[in-house]
């Protein structure tokens, strides 16, 4: 049976060059980077070269990069430690953040005397900038946490604008860039972001590794207590093969960015055109300007088809999501779509089709044919 993978916002296939590099490290570089002998020094060298490489692609300095086990952990370190260590009084966030941010903030609000304000989300899925400014105009020591690219609908936040507004109101700015690092260029010398996070498995790297960027001068303390790894902020022996694999995947993503972006943009346009042709009335969730890797559509099919559509596609070897990864297969409506769709629309089948450079026009034709038989 043909297999088609269109769930790249959930996770991606590792590039063969990354596997080769990681395999070499697994076989040869098993020294503990904290050991002072030659095995340890050689591993330390790999970790620090990877840190420099990762930093270079976002125009940060190596000391601003903290390796973590994933994007969720990086978000947790930033949110939990900044509330505890920076005496934050208020968090401004939105209801369409990833659960790694949303749930963490909910728990923090039950543990600390902080106020949580949710900035309004427009029906297009964009953040209401006027409301953000209104919220910020009430004085309080504030952390703004807004994601760059929404993982379900692909809407793009103007991080340059938000960073500038935050600076104007002396608020700290954290942005979850898990869906944008490796797909969009980010220059941290141009944009005054205080914290951002990334996850290697979203840009064709390994699972189990990510990083947090913490702007120089901001001092946070650890969540995990133990050794001095990662400047004492993230104790635990470094996962050298994963760190090297992430750095390699990131460098390849940016090396091929223009070519891959062109290919994927073409695929996304083709998919939308085919859907409009064969499913008149299809609506794109998330407004006009969305990331080239994600297309979220509301299909003009009866609500009775909603619960079985993913199963039907899966039977034909096609993998995609309804909302975020954890929600595919669940009947619970997506918290993101619930914010932007009407009660009627949310009952109808929405699909998140998310692309990579490995996808082809034939994949899309196969998907359209399969959808016609739903």
Q: Does 70 bind ligand PLP (CB under 6 A)?
A: yes
Torsion of CA 226, 227, 230, 234, to 10 degrees: -10
Residue 176 or 279 having the CB closest to ligand PLP: 176
The residue within the footprint of ligand PLP, chosen from 50, 100, 121, 370 (CB under 6 A), is 100
The residue within the footprint of ligand PLP, chosen from 325, 345, 368, 374 (CB under 6 A), is 325
What single string gives the DSSP state of each residue in 179-221?
TTBTTB---TTTS--SEEEEEGGGTTS-SS-EEEEE-TT----
Whether the Cβ atoms of residue 289 and residue 156 lie closer than 8 Å to each other: yes
Give residue number: closest CB to ligand PLP: 71
Candidates 153, 85, 167; CA nearest to 123 is 153
Which of the ranges 65-73, 133-141, 185-193, 258-266 carries the binding residues for ligand PLP, by CB under 6 A? 65-73
User: How far is Cα 202 from Cα 14, in angstroms, rounded to an integer?
Assistant: 9
Among left, alpha and beta (phi > 0; psi -120 to 50; other), residue 49 is alpha
Q: Which residues, numbered 114-153, are part of the site for ligand PLP (CB under 6 A)? A: 147, 151
Q: Does 66 bind ligand PLP (CB under 6 A)?
A: no
Q: Does 72 bind ligand PLP (CB under 6 A)?
A: yes
Whether the Cβ atoms of residue 66 and residue 230 lie closer than 8 Å to each other: yes
Q: For ligand PLP, what does the binding mask look like between residues 160 and 179, x meaning CB under 6 A?
A: ----------------x-xx
Q: Does 199 bind ligand PLP (CB under 6 A)?
A: yes
Residue 31 or 154 having the CB closest to ligand PLP: 154
Q: Does 98 bind ligand PLP (CB under 6 A)?
A: yes
The residue within the footprint of ligand PLP, chosen from 31, 33, 71, 286 (CB under 6 A), is 71
Q: Where are the alpha helices (DSSP H) in the chain?
A: 16-28, 38-57, 71-85, 99-111, 129-136, 159-168, 240-255, 257-278, 309-315, 335-340, 343-347, 361-372
Residue 212 or 341 having the CB closest to ligand PLP: 212
The size of the chain, in residues, is 374
Judged by CB under 6 A, how many residues of this single chain contact ligand PLP? Answer: 14
Q: Which residues contact 307 (CB under 8 A, 6 or more apart)?
A: 331
Q: Which residues, numbered 293-312, are part of the site for ligand PLP (CB under 6 A)? A: none
* Structure-token pair, residue 290: 């969305």
Q: Which residues contact 273 (CB under 8 A, 6 or more apart)?
A: none
| Cβ 1 to ligand PLP shortest distance, Å | 27
Q: Does 328 bind ligand PLP (CB under 6 A)?
A: no
Q: Does 8 bind ligand PLP (CB under 6 A)?
A: no
Among left, alpha and beta (phi > 0; psi -120 to 50; other), residue 283 is beta
Q: Does 320 bind ligand PLP (CB under 6 A)?
A: no
Q: Which residues contact 158 (CB under 8 A, 6 or more apart)?
A: 129
| Cβ 208 to ligand PLP shortest distance, Å | 8
Residue 81 or 293 having the CB closest to ligand PLP: 293
Which of the ranges 48-56, 70-78, 239-247, 331-339 carries the binding residues for ligand PLP, by CB under 6 A? 70-78
Residue 31 or 210 having the CB closest to ligand PLP: 210
CA 100 from chain center: how many Å? Answer: 10
Q: Does 243 bind ligand PLP (CB under 6 A)?
A: no
Q: Is 166 a catalytic residue?
A: no
| Cβ 138 to ligand PLP shortest distance, Å | 28
Question: Which one from 20, 224, 255, 326 is the annotated catalytic residue?
Answer: 326
Please give the positions annotated as active site. 326
User: Which residues of the chain form contacts with ligand PLP (CB under 6 A)?
Assistant: 70-72, 98, 100, 147, 151, 176, 178-179, 199, 210, 324-325
């Amino acid at each position: 049976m043909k297999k088609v993978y269109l769930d790249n916002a959930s996770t991606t296939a590792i590039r063969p060059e990354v596997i080769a590099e990681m395999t070499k490290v697994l076989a040869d570089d098993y020294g503990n980077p904290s050991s002072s002998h030659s095995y340890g020094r050689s591993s330390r060298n790999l970790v620090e070269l990877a840190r420099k490489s990762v930093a270079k692609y976002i125009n940060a300095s190596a000391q601003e990069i903290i390796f973590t086990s994933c994007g969720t952990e990086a978000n947790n370190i930033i949110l939990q430690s900044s509330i505890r260590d920076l005496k934050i009084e208020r968090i401004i966030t939105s209801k369409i953040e990833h659960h790694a941010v949303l749930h963490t903030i909910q728990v923090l609000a039950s543990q600390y005397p902080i106020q949580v304000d949710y900035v309004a989300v427009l029906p297009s899925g964009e953040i209401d900038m006027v409301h953000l400014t209104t919220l910020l105009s009430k004085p309080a020591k504030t952390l703004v946490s807004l994601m760059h690219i929404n993982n379900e609908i692909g809407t793009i936040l103007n991080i340059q604008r938000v960073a500038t507004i935050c600076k104007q109101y002396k608020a700290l700015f954290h942005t979850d860039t898990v869906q944008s690092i490796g797909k969009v260029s980010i220059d941290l010398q141009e944009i005054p972001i205080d914290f951002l996070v990334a996850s290697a498995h979203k840009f064709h790297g390994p699972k189990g590794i990510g990083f947090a960027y913490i702007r120089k001068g901001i001092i946070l303390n650890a969540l995990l207590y133990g050794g001095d790894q990662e400047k004492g902020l993230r104790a635990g022996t470094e996962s050298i093969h994963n760190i090297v694999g992430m750095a390699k995947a990131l460098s390849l993503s940016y090396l091929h960015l223009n070519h891959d972006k062109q290919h994927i943009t073409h695929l996304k346009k083709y998919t939308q055109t085919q859907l409009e042709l064969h499913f008149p009335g299809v609506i794109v969730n998330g407004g006009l300007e969305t990331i080239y890797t994600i297309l979220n559509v509301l299909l003009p099919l009866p609500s009775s088809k909603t619960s079985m559509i993913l199963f039907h596609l899966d039977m034909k070897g096609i993998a995609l999501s309804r909302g975020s990864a954890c929600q595919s297969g669940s009947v619970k409506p997506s918290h993101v779509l619930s914010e932007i769709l009407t009660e009627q629309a949310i009952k109808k089948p929405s699909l998140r089709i998310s692309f990579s450079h490995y996808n082809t026009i034939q994949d899309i034709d196969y998907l359209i044919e399969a959808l016609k038989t739903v």
